[in-house]
Amino acid sequence: MTPNLKGLEAIGWQDRMMPNPKGTRVESLCNYFHKTIKTARSELIKVHEKAEVAQKVAKAKIKHLKLVLEKIETEKAKVEANGASKKKRRKAVEAKVMEVEKKDEGQVVEIGHLAMEAFKSLLKFTKIKIEFGREAFEVE
C-alpha cells in the first residue's frame, strides 16, 4: 500500500529531501518531517528565549515606572502638606496681626481717654467749662 503523497508533492517536499540509502519514499518523508520538526523546535526555543528576555525587560521597566510613580506621589504629598502648613502659618500670622490691631485700637482709645482726663484736669479747661455753664444759664 502506497501512502497518498499528492498533497506533499504539491508543496515541493521532494525537492528538499536528502537522498535515502534505503531508497524508500516513506523513510525519506520521515527524515524530512523529522528535520522540519527539529528546525521548528529550535526556532520555537529561540522565539521563547526572546520572549523571556522581552518579558524581563518589560518587568524591569514596570518596576522602574512604579518607583518613579511612588517618588512622584510622595513629592505630591509633601507639596500638599507644605501648602497646607503654609495656609496654617498664614492664618496664624493673620490672627496675630488682628490681635495686635485690636490691642493697638484699645491703646489708642486708652490714650484718648488719658488725654481727655489730662485736659479736664487743666485749669484752662475748668475755666472753659465755667464760662460755658454761665452762657447756658444766661441763654435760658
Residue 76 lies inside a defined structural domain of this protein: yes
Residue 82 lies inside a defined structural domain of this protein: yes
Inter-residue contact 20 to 4 (CB < 8 Å): no
- CA torsion angle for 65, 67, 73, 74 (degrees, to 10)? -160
Helices (H) and strands (E) in the chain — how many of each? Answer: 3, 0
Residue 17 lies inside a defined structural domain of this protein: yes
How many domains are there within the chain? 1
Residue 103 lies inside a defined structural domain of this protein: yes
pLDDT tens-digit readout, 11-48: 555 555 555 455 567 778 888 889 999 999 999 999 99
- Tell whether the model's pLDDT for residue 61 goes beyond 80: yes
Residue 100 lies inside a defined structural domain of this protein: yes
pLDDT tens-digit readout, 66-113: 999 999 999 988 888 887 788 888 888 888 888 888 888 888 888 888
In the numeric block, the cell 534505503 is attached to 22
Residue 1 lies inside a defined structural domain of this protein: no
Residue 47 lies inside a defined structural domain of this protein: yes
- Tell whether the model's pLDDT for residue 1 goes beyond 50: no
Q: What is the pLDDT of residue 20?
A: 46
Residue 86 lies inside a defined structural domain of this protein: yes
Q: What is the pLDDT of residue 109?
A: 82
In the numeric block, the cell 518589560 is attached to 58
Segments forming the whole domain that contains residue 56: 6-139
Is 0.85 topped by the overall pTM?
A: no
